Amino acid sequence: MELLVVKDRRMDYDGSAIRSHWAYRNFGILGNSLVVFRGRCDVKVGEMIDIEDLRASKEIRSDNMVHYIVEVFDLVNTLFASTLQKLFIAKLCEVLGDYGVKTTRKGDDIYVNGRKLSISIATVSPVSVKVHIGINVEAKGIPEGVDAVGLRELGITDVEDFMERTGRTLVEEFEKVKKDSLKVRWAQ
């Protein structure tokens, strides 16, 4: 899995990055990829993937987030997409623990002291699995009624280092899973 951490500019997430080959079209990365970037989040109804959110007319937005866009071509399956999403959320919780932040994972969301730190969605395209994870840098521009928290409030101020560290951790975990899947033989 190729990792790209975009540090030279801000990029906003509007939901369109969940489309297949986004990393290839925008950065020339062909194949399994993780692109990490920072920017606003504002997902309009037409780009919403989660049907529950769509039916509830939920707003998905934040003024400042770290975004992770994952694309994997090895197995196109919604169960695999959801599993990969939850594995990556669990790994992010581990990294946050290394920073001294005690987290709680509820499904595919990360909470700190009952306050929501992340958003996430996993789906498939005809050719790949796509996952988006967003972590608040600051809890600003959040929809009304959402009790959110950001990295800065948790004492994580070097956001670029956090992006790099978490990106490497997620890619290493994916590569380990892939290698482990290749070193076993069939049961007889």
Q: Supply the pLDDT for residue 48.
A: 66
- The burial class, CB within 10 Å (0-12 / 13-18 / 19+), for 79 is exposed
Question: What's the token pair of residue 13?
Answer: 């997430």
Q: Supply the pLDDT for residue 49.
A: 74
CA atoms within 13 A on the CB side of 169: 18
Q: Supply the pLDDT for residue 182.
A: 92
CATH architecture of 2-182: 2-Layer Sandwich (3.30)
- The residue among 72, 79, 44 whose CA lies nearest residue 170 is 72
**pLDDT of the chain, 188 residues: tens digit per residue:** 999 999 999 999 999 999 999 999 999 999 999 999 999 999 876 676 776 765 666 778 899 999 999 999 999 999 999 999 999 999 999 999 999 999 999 989 999 999 999 999 999 999 999 999 999 999 999 988 899 999 999 999 999 999 999 999 999 999 999 999 999 988 88
Q: Supply the pLDDT for residue 162.
A: 98
Give this prediction's pTM. Answer: 0.94
Q: Supply the pLDDT for residue 188.
A: 83
DSSP string of 71-127?
EE-S---HHHHHHHHHHHHHHHHHHHHHTT---EEETTEEEETTEE-EEEEEEE-SS
Q: Where are the beta strands (DSSP E) in 10-82?
A: 33-43, 60-72
Please, which residues bridge with residue 85 across strands? none
The DSSP call for residue 164 is: H
Q: Supply the pLDDT for residue 52.
A: 73
Please, which residues bridge with residue 60 across strands? 43
Q: Supply the pLDDT for residue 155.
A: 97
Q: Where are the domains of the chain?
A: 2-182
Q: In what order do the strands lie in the sheet with 118-124?
A: 2-5, 33-43, 60-72, 129-136, 118-124
